[in-house]
Chain A
């Protein structure tokens, strides 16, 4: 674990991998000493960015970050071990335009891609692409595929995609480069709802194959 300064208000906690980053983000978010000093905790793929409240120095922030052992050993997150957090079921029609390409890239049949995508529970690692978009991790490692060479200019809302170690659902129509394997009617973002985001940190996601 490394602590890197990020200007005069940020401290970037760098970890070994996404699993460690998820655990560290959960631990940092619930640490009362940290919470007193930060305006936001921004999880990334290998990092957690702590944003200091106005008037709090990075040096002061640094003093309250627990060491790696405490951060990762707090028992609040190693994934794949069944988090106590809530589970959200997302029904998916697996007819995405890249399903055949994903099958070819992974050496699986289309049916095996669907089986692998629905077999494991996924966890929210971090957000950031759009409101309500969650980068999900914890999937079958055979599903790791690169982004498309040519991003699409429009990906419809509800598209379910894969990229690298991540899976995710597009909350709204937007450009996108992920490999699309299906679609869902689940509403990922609704400003009339409280909270507006369906998926938040600590939530476990299961995809279920649906006929329509």
Chain B
């Protein structure tokens, strides 16, 4: 069996796949790729079956060495690629020969790149998934230097495309939100869409912490009984700074959710860097 040997790591590198939905009742969330569209595209380009495990790489810096012939593709944040020091187009499908090293530089825009491997990463699944859940501490450990990542042999699809155009991310995205279910807990819910928000430094896969003029909270409502949550839910904590849940959000939460980002737009949220701005609009 071939493998990828991890030679250098920059930002966090996690094993991710399509996630493990369906286990909320035992306190286990879905997790999975933060930018599902980029992850799915990468898997398709290397001919993988849906749900094959890939690497989610924050801000490049990853270097891997092929043990055997390994076909890979990088999607999402357009990290510049080098094979044995030679530049390769970002978004290209590359076959690494035994001993060759692939390096991901820092992407010009976006936050998370996906390194898909033909055959998928063959790590032990938990509840049907190889996704790392950073909040619950489930799934494969974060990838460190020296890790050996076995590559599977199942890849039903052909490799038909040499490269795709790299992704580009607009400066201040406007993401669509559906009002509610607890918009009556915000003094002025429309202020959510009227203001420009900045992504706080403590943001992660659990949630984007938004900075800006805080939202007013309706006083005297007491405590909301815990209720189920979803990625894209905009929670309003008592300090008025919204938190937008990411893939590793808590299964249930106690702060009111005043709006929920349209599912398709949550992928864009996964590419926002701390300090970048965003806006919302109602649908």
For window 1-56 of chain A, which residues contact chain B by CB distance below 8 Å?
4-10, 12, 14, 18, 25, 29, 39-49, 51
Q: Given A48-B228, A131-B26, A131-B136, decide whether A6 and B21 contact each other with a Cβ distance below 8 A.
A: no
Interface residues on chain A, number (Cβ under 8 Å): 43
Q: How far is the CB of A191 from chain B (nearest CB, A)?
A: 6
Which 5 A/B pairs are nearest by Cβ-Cβ distance?
A7-B260, A42-B228, A49-B228, A128-B252, A127-B27
Verify B27–A49 contact, CB threshold 8 A. no
Stretch at the interface among A87-95, A113-121, A149-157, A195-203: A195-203
Say if the beta carbon of A186 comes within 8 Å of chain B: no
- Give me 14 A-to-B residue pairs in the complex whose CB atoms sit less than 8 angstroms apart, sorted by A's number: A6-B230, A6-B260, A7-B232, A7-B233, A39-B22, A49-B228, A49-B229, A51-B230, A127-B24, A127-B252, A131-B27, A131-B136, A195-B26, A196-B126
Q: Is the CB of A131 within 8 A of B28?
A: yes
Residues of chain B having any CB pair with chain A under 8 Å: 21-28, 30, 126-127, 136, 138, 177-178, 180-181, 225-230, 232-233, 250-253, 257, 260-263, 283
Known A4-B181, A8-B262, A44-B226; further 13 A-B contacts with Cβ < 8 A: A7-B177, A29-B25, A40-B22, A40-B30, A41-B25, A45-B225, A49-B229, A127-B28, A127-B252, A128-B24, A134-B27, A200-B26, A201-B25
- Asked if A105 is an interface residue, CB under 8 A from chain B, the answer is no
A126 at the interface (CB under 8 A from B): yes
Out of B136, B252, B261, name the residue touching A126 (CB < 8 Å).
B252
* A9 / chain B contacts, CB cutoff of 8 Å: 230, 263
Return the contact of B26 from the options A7, A44, A45, A197 (Cβ within 8 A).
A197
A60 and B34 alpha carbons, distance in the complex (Å): 26
B24 touches A40 (CB 8 A): yes
| Docked CA distance A187–B2 (Å) | 37
Across the interface, do A49 and B21 meet the contact criterion of CB distance under 8 Å?
Answer: no
Give the complex CA separation of A47 and B257 in angstroms.
13
Interface residues of A in 160-201 (CB under 8 A from B): 171, 191, 195-197, 199-201
B251 in contact with A127 (CB, 8 Å): yes
B228 to chain A, nearest CB (A): 3
Q: Is the CB of A6 within 8 A of B257?
A: yes
A102–chain B nearest beta-carbon distance, Å: 20
Chain B residues near A12: list those with CB within 8 A: 181, 227-228
